[in-house]
Amino acid sequence: MVVALTALLLAASPEPTPMSFAEALALAERAPLPAATARAVVSQRTEVSRGSSLSNPQLVVEPGWRRSAAAGSGLDLRVGVAQPFHLSGLGTARKQAVRLETQALSEEARSALLARRLTVAEAWLSLWAAEQAQVRVAEEVRLADAFREVVESAAALGAATKLDVAEAATYVADARLTELDVQGVAMARRTEFSRQVGARQAVPVTAAGPLPEVALPAESRWPALQERAASLPEVTFRMSLARMERARADEAKAAKGFQLQLGVAALREYDGAVGGVATVGLTPPVFDHAERERGTLLANAARLEGEGLEAAAAAASGLVLAFHEVEHSHEVVEVLRGTLLPGAEEAARLGELLFRAGDTTVLEVVRLRRALTQARIRLGHALADEALARMRARLLIDALDASATEEATPPAPSFRAGTSGAPASEGAAP
């Protein structure tokens, strides 16, 4: 279904395609970079499974010509084959390097997918908030038109002045300009969403359905999760790269160690005599110990370890901030939904009643209605911010739970589509 939806989105259709949050998050795995890194892991594992720890044999052909006064002249020929054997543990070092290369690639795939899931979630939720703002502003435009008609009717009866009519008309124009601004924001959010899912142009999609309802563990478990921040994919990816470079340095040193060559050769001399010999060769590491190769690899490993430590510090701070945003965004929603919005709705209703009774001015009614529209828009953005904060925390927790595996794709995040956009209660099972 997701593949069919992707094809539908990429088609140049003038009609907006409704897309739920779950469908949008599923597209993250099919974005170019996460999909490519996942394929890279499969290709790496397929190729290394066919590898061998033995070096290639060497075939030697030595043709020659000899002339003797007693026996005359003729062709000499020597054909031999030799197989080198490394005595310094090259096979083991190579297997270890290959294993760590595959692990690093797998961690990179997990990191890329997690990052893309976070950006796709943010893009969809931002689009949802922008479209909610469009609905609110369109409603304000409609009410502004109706209010202007009321003022014009009152002016015709002598109950309102020309100034009142001008203020009402200005209110309509301002509301329409706000509507145009919000439409531009929605287009920008739609374009950003298209970029995150890998579309080459803005796809006609609309954020459909409720906000995701995300289950999070109880707050008592948050400190223990924060202590595991170093297990997030970006950190493990950097540390895997450092271990990979050190393993490559060990492989380079083993490749320059003692090397034994065993072989056989067949002979045919110019006078027709034939025979065979066994060959034994030994290459000791007298001068070259792979210092040049090891120096570069070990320097890279040291640098990557530093990057990994910085990534661990950033991950710990990011996880603390993610949990804080869950609490902060919920408090903002509670204030908006419980106090500010009801107050703005009541003030706008009373203002209109007072205007009809002749006890207030058009300017005051306009101010109250604008405040109501802004409160409704702020609530939409706050709901999207709360859902994003909970989803970010959920994705990070899932990444921690999957850190012990070497799979390229972490498990799908734990959430469900709610019916009202309200988040799941604290203490729900993850």
| Surface-to-core class of residue 247, CB atoms within 10 Å of its CB (0-12 exposed, 13-18 middle, 19+ buried) | buried
Given a cut of 50, whether residue 424 has pLDDT beyond it is no
Given a cut of 90, whether residue 410 has pLDDT beyond it is no
CA distance 350 to 357: 10
Residue whose pair of structure tokens reads 């925390």 in the numeric block: 393
Determine which of 94-103, 187-196, 354-363, 408-417 has the lowest per-residue pLDDT on average: 408-417
In tens, the pLDDT along 29-61 reads: 888 889 999 999 988 888 887 877 778 888 989
Given a cut of 50, whether residue 428 has pLDDT beyond it is no
Two tokens, residue 412: 């799908």
At residue 70 the predicted structure's pLDDT band, cuts being 50, 70 and 90, is low
Amino acid present at 349: R
* 124 half-sphere exposure, CB direction, 13 A CA radius: 26
Percent of the chain with pLDDT over 90: 42
What pLDDT was estimated at residue 66?
78
In tens, the pLDDT along 101-125 reads: 999 999 999 999 999 999 999 999 9
Given a cut of 50, whether residue 420 has pLDDT beyond it is no
| Surface-to-core class of residue 32, CB atoms within 10 Å of its CB (0-12 exposed, 13-18 middle, 19+ buried) | exposed
Given a cut of 60, whether residue 4 has pLDDT beyond it is no
The SS3 call for residue 207 is strand
The stretch 13-25 carries a mean pLDDT of 81
CA distance 277 to 168: 109
What pLDDT was estimated at residue 395?
94
What pLDDT was estimated at residue 422?
39
Is the distance from CB of 184 to CB of 130 less than 8 angstroms? Answer: no
CA distance 173 to 90: 78
Q: Which residue has the higher pLDDT, 66 or 301?
A: 301
What pLDDT was estimated at residue 413?
53
The stretch 175-179 carries a mean pLDDT of 92
What pLDDT was estimated at residue 69?
65
In tens, the pLDDT along 299-356 reads: 999 999 999 999 999 999 999 999 999 999 999 999 999 999 999 999 999 998 888 8
> Which string of b and e fits 179-218 if b means at least 16 CB within 10 Å?
beebbebbeebbbbbbebbbbeeebbbebebbbbbbbbbe
Instruction: For residue 17, give the nearest of 158, 207, 185, 201 by alpha carbon.
Output: 207
Q: Which residue has the higher pLDDT, 68 or 306?
A: 306
Two tokens, residue 332: 């903002």
In tens, the pLDDT along 226-274 reads: 989 999 999 999 999 999 999 999 989 988 888 888 999 888 887 777 8
At residue 72 the predicted structure's pLDDT band, cuts being 50, 70 and 90, is low
What pLDDT was estimated at residue 88?
86
In tens, the pLDDT along 373-402 reads: 999 999 999 999 999 999 999 999 999 887
Write down the number of H helices and E strands in the chain: 10, 8
What pLDDT was estimated at residue 10?
45
At residue 421 the predicted structure's pLDDT band, cuts being 50, 70 and 90, is very low
What pLDDT was estimated at residue 408?
40
Is the distance from CB of 260 to CB of 120 less than 8 angstroms? Answer: no
What pLDDT was estimated at residue 156?
86
What pLDDT was estimated at residue 404?
46
What pLDDT was estimated at residue 403?
67
What pLDDT was estimated at residue 87?
86
What pLDDT was estimated at residue 391?
95
Determine which of 140-144, 313-317, 407-411 has the lowest per-residue pLDDT on average: 407-411
- State the CB neighbour count (10 A cutoff) for residue 231: 17
Residue whose pair of structure tokens reads 């589509």 in the numeric block: 417
CA distance 168 to 172: 6
